[in-house]
Amino acid sequence: MIRTLRIVSLLAMLMVVTGSVLAQGGGQNASPFSAPDPNRPTGLLTNTGEAEDGYVLVSMVQSKDTLLLSNDGRVVNIWPGDYYPSNSAYLLDNGHLQRAVSLENTFGFAPNGQWGFIGGRIEELNWDGEVVWSFEFASEDHVTHHDIEPMPNGHILFLAFERLTREDAIAEGFNPEFFAEDRDEIWSEAVYEVDPATNEIVWEWHLWDHFIQDFDENAENFGVVADHPEKVNINFKDPDESLAPNWWHVNAVAYNAELDQIVLSPRRYSEIWIIDHSISTGEAAGEAGDLLYRWGNPQTYNTGTAEDRQLYYQHDPRWIREGRPGEGNITIFDNGGAPRPYSRVVEMKPPVGEDGHYIMEVGQPTGPTELEWEYVAETPENFFSSLISGAERQPNGNTIIDEGLRGHIFEVTSDGEIVWEYNLPPAAWAFRAERYNLPVFGELDMTSDLEFTGGVLWGVDCNDGTQPRLHEYLPQEESAMRLFIETHGDDAQTAWETEACAEHDDRAGIDE
């Protein structure tokens, strides 16, 4: 059960957090902060009975808790934590939870902690919330971030940033004008595979082995970018993105066991990449580790025009699982941004030749140009999350969608009809929402109806109509709330209400 709350953020604090969060997302300056309606209802909104059976796992950005929701709107389980997420979480067949979390010390990689995506730690918890395994990967050179992917063999794929100093980056042909102010470094990307039985790294792929650039002819990777779509141009810059050390901002990793391939989501390049996992680590450092396929924004490899661009700052590309409608295709949450201020979910089918290889032709934008399916709201701008978010095809052909910044989770049919809908409490952002229907659920207590209040808030209506609010899911407001409690004890909320309305003709009364 979720307690219904009302919230309106203080304008000044909202502006501070807006800038902070957009910076986390890679500096998408023109994108608005997608705050939900403060007066909206929370909890279960729609359940027509046509939703896929199962339970929805929700990983949130600001909360140390991970939730499991039933189709009838109950919070069936809550996995608490000692760390903020960084950001994804997954259920295993035994009912355990694997999630990425954020260490306090991430060696200068930031942001970490609440609102961050920098991690450093992966952990597994049993149904009762006890940590039964953990793995840390953080140093001056590297740190985990964003996403992990449990594999069928029990191993885990994870993303990592790898620090390139100014000297290292320039040696790779990086344009020095692209360094962020006061940050003489960029963070390259890597994918690692860890065996939880030994905590040993058993496979790895490094982006820096696959750079190309046409800026510095003295660098070894100098070449004609458009002639090599299999390589990654280290100097591509989206004109709507600000400078930041997390130059690619890969926010998702997914694995296809049948193909033995990995799909990645470099948000700042607005495209998806597919790489080969069947090769060895040594082979992954050579040509065999180049991109097998890319799609979404051909301008990243100096091909095509803005009209050929398909994606805007996407999240959560994943193959549709075997046995589900569209199996083998890829779904993507296409966030949108300044050039297209609304979100959509797309299903696309990568083109494959008779030889079984993806089709990427030099000088041509990689196909497809036509989608297999897409979801766009009837009024497109009403469905918009400029950051985070995801989507997953269900066995019955429906698609569950996580409109992350609004904490809005819903399921649509292939015709776009909403058959299940749920709102998290105000200010609770959902990084990912996935439905599970595991056999082990039959052995667990799935009858619970737990309370998750989300952003506990104080609110007051001032005489001039101003409505200041404080809630715990904005860090600045949480600090203010703690300060009043420490200073005023049991009278803290009343003291805050008086002060909040001091310059607004005194208060009119508490908003319940």
DSSP-assigned letters across all residues of 377-417: -SSGGGS--SSS-EEEE-TTS-EEEEEGGGTEEEEE-TT--
Asked if pLDDT for residue 152 goes beyond 80, the answer is yes
Instruction: State what percent of residues in the chain have pLDDT above 70.
Output: 88
Task: Assess whether 471 and 431 both reside in one domain.
Answer: no
142-146, 318-322, 342-346, 499-503 — which is least confidently predicted? 499-503
Establish if 189 belongs to a structural domain: yes
Q: What CA–CA distances, in Å, run from 430 to 6, 137, 293, 475?
A: 18, 24, 29, 17
297-306, 336-345, 458-467 — which is least confidently predicted? 458-467
Residue type, 483: L
Distance CA 110, CA 278 (A): 32
Read off the pLDDT of residues 222-245 as tens digits, 9 standing for 90 and up.
999 999 999 999 999 999 999 999
**Beta-carbon contacts of residue 130 (< 8 Å; ≥ 6 apart):** none
- Final residue before a domain boundary, out of 445, 467, 502: 445
Task: Assess whether 425 and 493 both reside in one domain.
Answer: no
- How far does CA 305 lie from the centroid of its chain? 27
Task: Assess whether 429 and 478 both reside in one domain.
Answer: no
Distance CA 263, CA 268 (A): 16
Across 295-323, average pLDDT: 98
**Beta-carbon contacts of residue 314 (< 8 Å; ≥ 6 apart):** 265, 267, 270, 271, 272, 296, 332, 333, 334, 335
Choose among 159, 212, 163: nearest CA to 186: 163
Establish if 12 belongs to a structural domain: no
In this prediction the pTM is 0.88
Asked if pLDDT for residue 504 goes beyond 80, the answer is no
Q: What CA–CA distances, in Å, run from 142 to 182, 252, 262, 444?
A: 20, 17, 20, 38
Read off the pLDDT of residues 162-185 as tens digits, 9 standing for 90 and up.
999 999 999 999 999 999 998 999
Task: Assess whether 477 and 378 both reside in one domain.
Answer: no
| CATH number for the domain that contains residue 147 | 2.130.10.10
**Which residues partner with 462 through β-bridges?**
507
Task: Assess whether 85 and 226 both reside in one domain.
Answer: yes
Establish if 256 belongs to a structural domain: yes
Asked if pLDDT for residue 370 goes beyond 80, the answer is yes
Q: Do 268 and 248 form a contact (C-beta atoms < 8 A)?
A: yes
Task: Assess whether 122 and 261 both reside in one domain.
Answer: yes
* Residue 344 confidence class, pLDDT cut points 50, 70, 90: very high
62-66, 152-156, 209-213, 445-449 — which is least confidently predicted? 62-66
Task: Assess whether 229 and 292 both reside in one domain.
Answer: yes
What pLDDT score does 24 carry? 36
What pLDDT score does 38 carry? 58
Establish if 16 belongs to a structural domain: no
What pLDDT score does 154 carry? 98
Distance CA 332, CA 375 (A): 11
Q: Do 100 and 121 form a contact (C-beta atoms < 8 A)?
A: yes
Task: Assess whether 158 and 95 both reside in one domain.
Answer: yes
Helix (H) or strand (E) holding 22: helix 11-24
- Final residue before a domain boundary, out of 419, 445, 471: 445
For the chain, what is the mean pLDDT?
Answer: 89
Q: Which domain holds residue 490?
A: 458-510
Angle at 305 between CA 299 and CA 311, to 5 degrees: 60
Read off the pLDDT of residues 112-124 as tens digits, 9 standing for 90 and up.
987 789 999 999 9
What pLDDT score does 341 carry? 93
Q: What CA–CA distances, in Å, run from 149 to 88, 158, 441?
A: 9, 6, 21
Asked if pLDDT for residue 506 goes beyond 80, the answer is no
Establish if 34 belongs to a structural domain: no
Establish if 192 belongs to a structural domain: yes
Establish if 274 belongs to a structural domain: yes
Helix (H) or strand (E) holding 44: strand 43-47
Domains in the chain, number: 2
267-271, 448-452, 468-472 — which is least confidently predicted? 468-472
More confident residue, 442 or 19: 442
Asked if pLDDT for residue 21 goes beyond 60, the answer is no
SS3 373: strand
Residue 368 has phi, psi (to 5 degrees) of: -85, 160
Q: Are strands 232-233 and 211-212 parallel, antiparallel or unpaired?
A: parallel
What pLDDT score does 457 carry? 63
Across 8-13, average pLDDT: 29
Establish if 83 belongs to a structural domain: yes
Read off the pLDDT of residues 37-56 as tens digits, 9 standing for 90 and up.
656 789 999 999 999 999 99
Task: Assess whether 255 and 118 both reside in one domain.
Answer: yes
140-154, 189-203, 454-468 — which is least confidently predicted? 454-468
Asked if pLDDT for residue 386 goes beyond 60, the answer is yes
- Final residue before a domain boundary, out of 391, 421, 445: 445
Asked if pLDDT for residue 476 goes beyond 60, the answer is no
More confident residue, 426 or 474: 426
Task: Assess whether 123 and 240 both reside in one domain.
Answer: yes
Task: Assess whether 326 and 466 both reside in one domain.
Answer: no
Task: Assess whether 396 and 498 both reside in one domain.
Answer: no
